[in-house]
Amino acid sequence: MNQVIEFVKADVKKEKPAVESLGFGKHFTDYMFVMDYNEEEGWHQPRITPYAPLVLEPAAMVFHYSQSVFEGLKAYRAKDGRVLLFRPEKNVARMNVSCARLSIPQIDETIVLDAIKQLVELEKDWIPDGEGTSLYIRPFIIATEPSLGVHPAHEYKFMIILSPVGSYYGDQLKPVRIYVEDEYVRAVPGGVGFTKTGGNYAASLKAQEKAEELGYDQVLWLDGVERKYIEEVGSMNIFFKINGEVVTPKLNGSILGGVTRDSVIELLKYWNVPVKETKISIDEIYNAYKNGQLEEVFGTGTAAVISPVGELGWKDVAMQLPHAEAPDSIANRLYDALTGIQLGKTEDPLNWTVEIK
Ligand SMILES: *Cc1c(COP(=O)(O)O)cnc(C)c1O
The closest-lying atom of ligand 1 relative to the alpha carbon of residue 94 is 7
Ligand 1 centre from 236 Cα, in Å? 5
> What pLDDT is attached to residue 168?
76
Q: Work out the number of other CB atoms within 10 angstroms of the CB of residue 22.
A: 21
Predicted pLDDT at 131: 82
User: What is the rounded CA–CA span in Å between residue 357 and residue 350?
Assistant: 21
Q: Decide if 105 contacts 43 (C-beta within 8 A).
A: yes
CA of 30 to the centre of ligand 1 (A): 26
CA distances from 333 to 174, 264, 293, 327 (A): 14, 11, 20, 8
Residues 6+ apart with CB under 8 A from 338: 260, 263, 264, 267, 305, 306
- 15-28: pLDDT as tens digits: 999 999 999 999 99
> How many residues belong to the chain?
357
At 1 the pLDDT is 44
Q: Give the strand pairing for 73-77 and 83-86.
A: antiparallel
Residues 6+ apart with CB under 8 A from 244: 274, 295
pLDDT digits (tens, 9 = 90+) for 224-269: 999 999 999 989 999 999 999 999 999 999 999 999 999 999 999 9
Residue 252 CB partners (closer than 8 Å, separation 6+): 189, 223, 279
Instruction: Give the integer Cα–Cα distance in Å for 246 and 265.
Output: 9
The model carries a pTM of 0.97
E strands, the chain, in order: 6-7, 31-38, 42-50, 68-70, 73-77, 83-86, 134-143, 156-165, 176-181, 218-222, 230-233, 237-242, 245-249, 275-278, 294-301, 305-314, 317-320, 353-356
What whole-number distance in Å separates Cα of residue 266 and Cα of residue 284? 25
Does ligand 1 have an atom closer than 6 angstroms to the CB of 259?
Answer: yes
Q: Which stretches of the chain score pLDDT less than 50?
A: 1-2
- State in Å: Cα 256 to ligand 1 middle: 6
HSE, CB side, 13 Å, CA atoms: give it for residue 279: 8
Ligand 1 centroid to Cα of residue 219, in Å, is 14
Cβ of 197 below 6 Å from ligand 1:
no
Which of 195, 200, 205, 237 has most ligand 1 atoms within 8 Å of its beta carbon, as the pocket-test mutant?
237
Report all structural domains of the chain as residue ranges with CATH numbers, in order of start: 6-165 (3.30.470.10), 176-342 (3.20.10.10)
